[in-house]
Amino acid sequence: MELNPLTAVSSIDGRYANKTSELRQYYSEFALIKYRVRVEVAYFIALCKLPLPQLKGLDASKFLALERLVTDFSEADAQKIKDIEKITNHDVKAVEYYIKEAFEGFGLTEYQEFIHFGLTSQDINNTSIPLMMKECWQEVLAPRLNKVIDLLSADAEKWAQVPMLAKTHGQPASPTRLGKEIRVFASRLRKQLELLEQIPFGAKFGGATGNMNAHYVAYPYQDWHGFADAFVSKDLGLSRSFPTTQIEHYDCMAAQFDALKRINTILLDYSRDIWQYVSMNYFKQKIKDGEIGSSAMPHKVNPIDFENAEGNLGIANALFEHLSAKLPISRLQRDLTDSTVLRVIGVPMAHTLIALDSLIKGIGKLELNEAALRKDLQDNWAVVAEAIQTVLRREGYPKPYEALKSLTRTNQPITEDSIREFLQKLEVKEELRQELFAISPFNYTGK
């Protein structure tokens, strides 16, 4: 059976293939191979800029041809590397042999052995993967998250003056404003995004056991650690981890996954709240011609975008949890468990992307039903009891809390009339009574 969106095992490449296809240039097998070629070529060019006698004769004009190995890299080229891998049974060595073969075509055969010079495979993997992650974050995921934050901020501004009955423990509570409740989520997301962007994209580059052993034995006079620092930071735009074992320790990567998990948790919290508001009729949703909400109930317009987001955020977080817990642990100088786990990074990223796009779509469909909010406020005059007893406390009125408690903790509905009747009986100055009369669920919303 041929692989296509109908036959794919994963929904990422199946049902949601059109939503996640842009991630293929970062997290597919093709992408990983291309990034490995990119690092190998960049490393060779960096070596050529050192005073190594064996590389002095190389014409710098050849660098453009080498860089085209990356810019012109195709699926056919990736397949060539996979074919070499069938023989080598080693994925990074296959990349090395592919580039060496290309050197022959460029007339650079005498320089072939400086491809992958002194390196181990993890020097390539542990730079390629954080580079993939960084560029995917900057080019795909961060813009989507910022779009969600912008939409929330716009809604917060639009609904800033809309009073709303709050619910604590699911029960009516002191009123708030809808815009402020939405702003809570925008503020939380901004703070966590700020923390996430402080975490460097860590990369290991140090030879077989992290000490640049092979480099120093070949050229003892060269400052190889200084070279590695500069190559990783300036040429690749990453942050070199040092000291390390054979592999990156993944602490920064784990911190990124934990930060993404917190962001997703906030988005999940928002999705559930909006779902609840929709169920309370506070929001209606724009109707799209041809769409069906239920196969049996024609009247329904379901909050499916927020449900879809909630489900995908949950899957993403389960995987982020495993990644952040597993990757920093490796037996002695290295075991191979990180290798297979690293190949899964694209999965939670894809589910996060699906969720972000669902939220963007869902937020765009929300229409405020202000009448429902006003009705809830009108039906819950008991919530001004806090306001009344607080003002009475200010005035030294005896046991105001207890007085309001006896009024409100009954099985009888508390209405505007019953509140006014209670206030009318209070033995207070008329000026204070009028101040209390002015309090309503619609204006007792704080600042």
> What is the set of active-site residues?
169, 294
**Alpha carbon separation from 212 to 339, 349, 369 (Å, rounded):** 21, 33, 65
- CA dist 346 and 249 (Å) reads 19
Task: Calculate ∠ Cα 44-127-80, nearest 5°.
Answer: 65
Closest by alpha carbon to 97, among 110, 108, 113?
113
Q: Dump the DSSP string for 244-306.
A: -SSS---HHHHHHHHHHHHHHHHHHHHHHHHHHHHHTTSEEE---TT--S-SS-TT----HHH
End-to-end CA distance of the chain: 62
Burial grade of 9 (CB within 10 A; 0-12, 13-18, 19 or more): exposed
Longest CA pairwise span in the chain (Å) = 103
- CA dist 292 and 299 (Å) reads 9
Token output for 273: 């709240």
For residue 224, report the phi and psi dihedrals to the nearest 5 degrees. Answer: -75, -35
Contact predicate 323/345, CB 8 Å: yes
